[in-house]
A and B are shown apart, each in its own frame.
Chain A
Amino acid sequence: MEPTPRDYSLVGRDSELAEKNGLASAEWYSCSIDRKTMKGLMRRSDGPALRDTAIWIAALVLSGAGGVYFWGTWWCVPFFLVYGVLYGSSSDSRWHETGHGTAFRTRWMNDALYYVASFMIFREPTIWRWSHTRHHTDTIIVGRDPEIIAPRPPDIKTLLLNLLAIRSSFNTVRALLMHAGGRMSDQEKAFVPEMERWKVYLIARIYLAILAAVALACLVMQSILPAMLIGLPTIYGGFLTVFFGVTQHAGLAEDVLDHRLNSRTIYMNPVFRFLYWNMNYHIEHHMFPMVPYHALPRLHELIKDDCPEPYPSTIAAYREIIPTLLRQVRDPSYFVERVLPEGAKAVPYNHGTQFKPAE
């Protein structure tokens, strides 16, 4: 029997299947770490994130100022390239870490950076807080996880368009217009509780007001320079968001209750790790999401013997990801099966939801 594409919507056939098969809100495999050590790893402090945020803001200001100063000449290009990556790509990891509440010990600092970074990455903060919560509950469980960026078969065109945040920005604008009108989709209602929805509508209106103000500034100045600083960097500088994001889960197993089998830990260079705030330790992050980004390398050392071999570099990861995604276009049943160390306990694959033909 020919396999059929699966239903990735949160209100469809595979959503029901996931619940029926015990994959929704299930118990996941967790490496063993004693309580005292885990407490030490989870401990919060403001220092590392204050330092990194200060560097980040200083780099944004300097590169943005350079872009403005050299505007009208080719010299502005490298400045806006740096500004764009800091604004449109590394805001992703800042959004992510503060959404988990783990960047700073001080709550308002997490919240402040969360809202600023959400705007920079052009995501609605309430929608994405709840969608990411679900992503952690049901990581790469088909019909449950709203953040599967490479479904099977993968949509290569959308992935490429999103290198410039084109499809994602278009979708966000469409969603903002709907939310500003006080409405939400059924998909969104599946993970955003009723009592939180007013925030979605309010923030959509604020986003649209900011975008309108930037557009007005461009009209008044007869220049796109204001938009080069606010708004457009998400598009021209967003390519690393996809570049990093694809490495997290793409091509790996679906419907397994074990992050070691559906997430990648990759050794990255220090620049990438600064931009990505250590999310290259992705198995570690998913298994213990309350461990702050700066403690992930320590956590990695403690559990690596119970995990598959880490990828030695981002290039090595892409050597696996690209052929896998291309093959999945033709054969959606194909995926990379990660090998656990000998003797490691494994959560068995759940075959109950594997490519049931559509009725």
Chain B
Amino acid sequence: MEERWIDACALDDIEEEDVIGFEHGGQAYALYRTLDDRYFCTDGLCTHEKVHLCDGLVMDTIIECPKHNGRFDFTSGKAKGAPACIDLKTYETEIRDGRVFIKAD
């Protein structure tokens, strides 16, 4: 499958230790910014019940689903315990000219 870099947002569109949602080609993504200004990207929907993670809570490198407390490490996509049992898919990010790009499938 061809890999494409997508211009997702400006660096400042995401607050420190926060998440925003982003849609491209019918696919929902979640973009994260850590306290030390690193940027990460995962699928936008919780693997438990398809709730949008962009309404959730970021604590350090954990994203917590706003509905059922499903928790994932967004740097690796790893599910951190029930009710989240399936890992999140992650996407590579790159910073260019003050913008965040993600590498989609």
Contact = CB atoms under 8 A, between A and B. Distances in A.
A137 B85 contact: no
A290 B57 contact: yes
Interface in A99-125: 100-102, 105
B83 A101 contact: no
B77 interface: no
Interface residues of B, number: 17
Contact of A129 (B64, B67, B83): B83
A25 B50 contact: yes
B56 A137 contact: no
A48 B66 CA distance: 21
Nearest to A288: B66
Contacts of B33: none
Interface in B1-29: 18
B50 A130 contact: no
A137 B69 contact: no
A101 B71 contact: yes
For B49, B59, B83, which residue has the most chain A Cβ atoms within 10 angstroms? B83
A289 B83 contact: no
B83 A130 contact: yes
Contacts of A42: 57, 66
Nearest to A193: B85
Interface residues of A, number: 22
30 contacts: A25-B50, A38-B55, A39-B18, A39-B57, A42-B57, A44-B57, A44-B59, A101-B69, A102-B69, A126-B82, A129-B82, A130-B83, A133-B48, A133-B68, A133-B83, A136-B67, A136-B68, A137-B49, A137-B67, A137-B68, A193-B85, A196-B82, A288-B66, A289-B66, A289-B67, A289-B68, A289-B69, A290-B57, A290-B64, A290-B67
A295 B69 CA distance: 17
A358 interface: no
Interface string B63-84: 0101111010000000000110
Contacts of B71: 101
A221 interface: no
Contacts of B66: 42, 288-290
Contacts of A193: 85
For B48, B67, B82, which residue has the most chain A Cβ atoms within 10 angstroms? B82
